[in-house]
Amino acid sequence: TAGSVCPQPPRSCEDYRWEWKHCRGLRHAFHHYYAHGQLPACGRWKDDYEACRAWESGRNNAARVRPRHRARVKEKQKHAPVWTLRKSPPPDWYLPLDQDKPN
């Protein structure tokens, strides 16, 4: 609609540009290939950067930046932390460790 305003991207356009350039870098590609066995997919960063630039210039097709970013954040939050966080230190935190004693 003509009266609707596109939501502002959650990050600045330069952040998306930096992520895209970093993803395409040789060092990152080598590390990603070593860790995952495949080259990184950098297209999403380029798409987000172009959509952000389109939003800045006033074109309406840039509204897809926010949902894609939300999907990535939701994917990160899906995994529970490995350790449970505690509110205070244990009561015997000051005692020496039992490293020298056999189990």
Measured CA to CA in angstroms, residue 7 lies from 1, 10, 58, 71, 98 at distances of 14, 9, 11, 15, 56
**Within-domain flag for 28:** yes
The whole-number pLDDT of residue 1 equals 42
Amino acid at 79: H
Each of the 103 residues of the chain gets a pLDDT tens digit; together they read: 444 555 666 778 888 899 999 999 999 999 989 998 998 888 888 888 888 888 888 765 545 555 566 666 677 677 777 788 889 998 888 888 876 666 6
Domain range enclosing 45: 13-73
Contact by Cβ (8 Å): 57, 47:
no
pTM of the model: 0.51
CA–CA gap between residue 27 and residue 43 (Å, rounded): 17
**Residue 86 belongs to some domain of the structure:** no
Report the domain count for the chain: 1
